[in-house]
Copies of this chain bind each other. A is one copy, B any other.
Amino acid sequence: MKLYSYWRSSCSWRVRIALNLKGLSYSYEAVHLVKDGGQQNSDAYRALNPMRTVPTLELEEGGQVRRLSQSVAILEYLEERYPTPALLPADPLLRARIRMLAEMVNSGIQPLQNLSVLQFVKGELQRDDKAFAAHWNVRGLTALEAAVKETAGTYCLGETVSLADIFLVPQLYGARRFAVDLSPYPTLTRIEAACEKLPAFQAAHPDRQPDAAPA
């Protein structure tokens, strides 16, 4: 498998964690979201992924090259195709609970602070992009803290790592980039610290990627 990824893209990061947790090896293809006006906007990448987003997962099945995009679709595919270790519990109501927590990040926070939106807020609207990003992080994390508290153990749901943790960790990193005060979210930061002890999460961290350019 080949993963088209950007080191600091939270959606790429989610997939890296899942691939690592499931013990799947992959090659890393960097797509720089800022350089050259954004390599995701090139004709070559657009042909792979018309939404011009990372990640894209390339794989071979039945002798054919297939490409999957959208992190939720990729994660659900990995879960169905490589069920062990499971990232969703067996019980349908608990699965719904985990997906709800994941969605609070996936559709509730991340889309409002991704690069193209912030570029638009700053460039077209001439408004403070970091304040915009921080606003939606605070709103979403407040709700997420309340929801996670109900089921949290070491991780978002008891003692087992799940999709919810995979969405949480990259989002908290994003929140810090926008100078969000995380002290009102003690459950979330405690879970983050527990995840960061796991090798699968460590290896997926932006700073450990081949295209990392830490300040």
Contacts and interface: CB of A to CB of B under 8 A. Distances in A.
A73 interface: yes
Interface string A60-88: 01000010111111101100110000000
What band does the interface of chain A fall in when counting residues whose beta carbon is under 8 Å from B?
Answer: 35 or more
Contact of A73 (B96, B135, B139): B96
A146 interface: yes
A164 to B, nearest CB: 11
In the complex, the count of this chain's copies comes to 2
A26 interface: no
Nearest to A148: B50
A30 to B, nearest CB: 22
Nearest to A98: B73
B103 A72 contact: yes
Contacts of A66: 93
Nearest to A57: B96
A130 interface: no
16 contacts: A50-B142, A50-B147, A51-B140, A51-B143, A53-B108, A66-B93, A68-B93, A70-B100, A72-B103, A73-B102, A77-B92, A77-B96, A77-B99, A80-B92, A111-B112, A125-B125
Interface of A: 50-53, 61, 66, 68-74, 76-77, 80-81, 92-93, 95-97, 99-100, 102-104, 106-108, 110-112, 116-117, 120-121, 124-125, 127, 132, 135, 139-140, 142-143, 146-147
